[in-house]
Amino acid sequence: MKVHYLEIVSHDVDAVCNAYEAAHGVEFSAPDELLGGARTCRLPDGTTVGVRGPLRETEDPVVRPYWLVNDIESAVSRIEAQGAKIAMHPMEIPGKGKFAIYIIGSNDHGLWQL
């Protein structure tokens, strides 16, 4: 298992990014509109951390790992059969791959296929 993208939804994006930059010596990008306006930082192992504000009024702050998979459609089918609620069916982000979001055990999780 490998986390491809770690998404942090926060009401104070700059404060979160500034804290990570100060603690870890990293630098976050300008907002990336393809990732919902997330400011991103690439880690040495290739994982990307993205921090963004809520995209809708009802979206709560959350930390959501997106696990890398080879076949997102198959993975979504298998986890749905295990009782997961699919919050976002596989969707392509041009040039970045496909992602999906599911909820199980009262937690948000994500999948990512390159």
114 residues of the chain, pLDDT tens digit each: 999 999 999 999 999 999 999 999 999 999 999 999 999 999 999 999 999 999 999 999 999 999 999 999 999 999 999 999 999 999 999 999 999 999 999 999 999 999
- Can you give the pLDDT at residue 8? 98
Query: Are the C-beta atoms of residues 114 and 66 closer than 8 Å to each other?
Result: no
Same-domain status, 74 and 44: no
Number of domain units in the chain: 2
Domain termination residue (choose one: 34, 60, 86): 60
Same-domain status, 42 and 85: no
Distance of alpha carbon 78 from alpha carbon 75, whole angstroms = 5
Same-domain status, 55 and 106: no
- Can you give the pLDDT at residue 108? 96
- Can you give the pLDDT at residue 7? 98
CATH number at residue 51: 3.30.720.120
Range of the domain at 29: 1-60
Same-domain status, 39 and 9: yes
Same-domain status, 6 and 53: yes
Same-domain status, 56 and 17: yes
**What burial letters (b/e) apply to 31-48, b meaning 16+ CB within 10 Å?**
bbeebbebbbbeeeeebb
CATH number at residue 101: 3.10.180.10
- Predicted TM-score (pTM) of the model is 0.94
